[in-house]
Amino acid sequence: MASRPSPAAAMSGFLTVMGILHFVAPKQFDAIVPESLPGGHRTWTYLSGVAELGVAAAVASPRTRRTGGLLAAGLFIGVFPANVKMAIDWSDRPLWQRALVYGRLPLQIPMIRWALKVRREA
């Protein structure tokens, strides 16, 4: 029976996958960049991808994990406006799609708690 990855390893893996997706499928991320941010949407997509990869690396390393957990919590707070924008933009989509994007919004709370747990356990 395989053991479950630690909260830090799981978070690092999750952030790595999400960071890579910002580069291999940037269009979906461009669409949720808030209009209030200066500059191009693609720039913000790439910057947030770099941030996710950097935080993933910080969480992966025991020496930087405590700081990485705090940075991950900040990252999850920082991307919340993009999730809100997506929910607003999808207001004309079918009900099941609206339910998915609105359902994602409260998930930021357990994500932040997960990051703080990684910090505490470092």
Question: Which of the four pLDDT bands, split at 50, 70 and 90, describes residue 95?
Answer: very high
- In the block, tokens 């910090």 appear at 119
Is residue 87 very low, low, confident or very high in pLDDT (cuts 50, 70, 90)? very high
CA distance 40 to 119: 33
| Separation of alpha carbons 52 and 70, rounded Å | 13
Non-local (6+) Cβ contacts of 5 within 8 A are 13
Please give the Cα distance from 62 to 15 (Å, whole number).
16
Contact (CB, 8 A) for 19 and 53:
yes
| pLDDT digit string, tens, across residues 15-61 | 999 999 999 999 999 999 999 999 999 999 999 999 999 999 999 99
| pTM of the model as a whole | 0.90
